Amino acid sequence: MHIDGTTGVVALLGHPVAHSKSPEMMNRAFQTAGLPYIYAAFDVAPEALGDAVRGLRALGVRGWNVTIPHKVAIMEWLDEVDETARAIGAVNTVVNDNGRLVGYNTDGTGYLRSLQEETGLDVTAQRVLIIGAGGAARAVGHALATAGVRHITVANRTTEKAEELAAHLGQWTATDVVGLADINRVLEETTLLVQSTSVGMYPHVDEIPIAPSGLHDRLIVSDLIYRPKWTRLLQEAKKRGARVHSGLGMLLYQAVLAFEHWTGRPAPVETMREVLEASLQGE
């Protein structure tokens, strides 16, 4: 790729970022689309976030992704936050619109697009159980609730956080909270299980967030982890006849939507998918 003074810059801000698959995926996407952009990852410590944003604004960087631990803190440094990101309470994509920084959240929408494309699920007919109450659970819960899910149960190690998320999602749908010890009882009535914690993520691939005995063949089990693509939870669910959905699609489509925010052009979805799949081979 030819790089000169007219080449646009897009970035990733996080801490750490060395493990990220985004630079390879995004740079290939820009090349495939014939767009003069480069994508770079910057490891930014929390105390340096404000300086980093001021620098990116001054340099005219077109936009950037935001990952852990900056998705909430970034909001105070932006000029505007769109309605969905404000409702979720976190930003994962920033667009520099002629010097005005606008924040979006593509996580929930990306998840929903992946879920519906891969499973054909009618979300309005589902009874949902979300394990976890962090930022990912908040984004996915908001997407499901606003798409018409009629009931969401939240289970989390810390009951207070579960109650906070359930109260937040209660603006759009019926919610309740269950203790981790009582999950199997709730699973009996659940049709969509969403696992949003880091339990089972590489390198701790043998870990599982719940006892597999409660999994059943009326479930769709969706794990937001993408490394490995098929977590132990998904493997155990498949053994018991459940349909499974990995986190790779959410990773893909949140990036697709970010690409489209920055460029105003359709993203080369299949190219991006191929890069992700290749980068995770053997994991």
Bind-site residues for NADP(+)? 83, 132-136, 156-161, 224, 247
Judge if the upstream peptide bond of residue 209 is cis by omega within 30 degrees of 0.
Answer: no
Spatial distance between the Cα atoms of 160 and 74, rounded to a whole number of angstroms: 24
Detail the DSSP E strand segments found in the chain: 8-14, 37-43, 63-66, 80-81, 93-97, 100-104, 127-131, 151-155, 174-178, 192-195, 220-223, 243-245
Spatial distance between the Cα atoms of 277 and 133, rounded to a whole number of angstroms: 28
Binding residues for shikimate are: 20-22, 67, 92, 107, 226, 254
- Residues linked to residue 103 through DSSP beta bridges, in sequence order: 81, 94
Spatial distance between the Cα atoms of 109 and 122, rounded to a whole number of angstroms: 15
From 71, 229, 238, 239, active-site residue: 71
The alpha carbon of 119 is separated from its chain's Cα centroid by a whole number of angstroms, namely 18
Spatial distance between the Cα atoms of 132 and 196, rounded to a whole number of angstroms: 5
Annotated catalytic residue 238: no
* CA 265-70-264 angle, 5° bins: 10
Question: Residue 117's CB: how many other CB atoms inside 10 A?
Answer: 13
Spatial distance between the Cα atoms of 183 and 150, rounded to a whole number of angstroms: 19
Question: Residue 123's CB: how many other CB atoms inside 10 A?
Answer: 18
Binding residues are: 20-22, 67, 83, 92, 107, 132-136, 156-161, 224, 226, 247, 254
Classified as helix, coil or strand, 243 is strand
Intra-chain end-to-end CA distance of the chain, in Å: 30
Spatial distance between the Cα atoms of 214 and 266, rounded to a whole number of angstroms: 41
Annotated catalytic sites, by residue?
Answer: 71
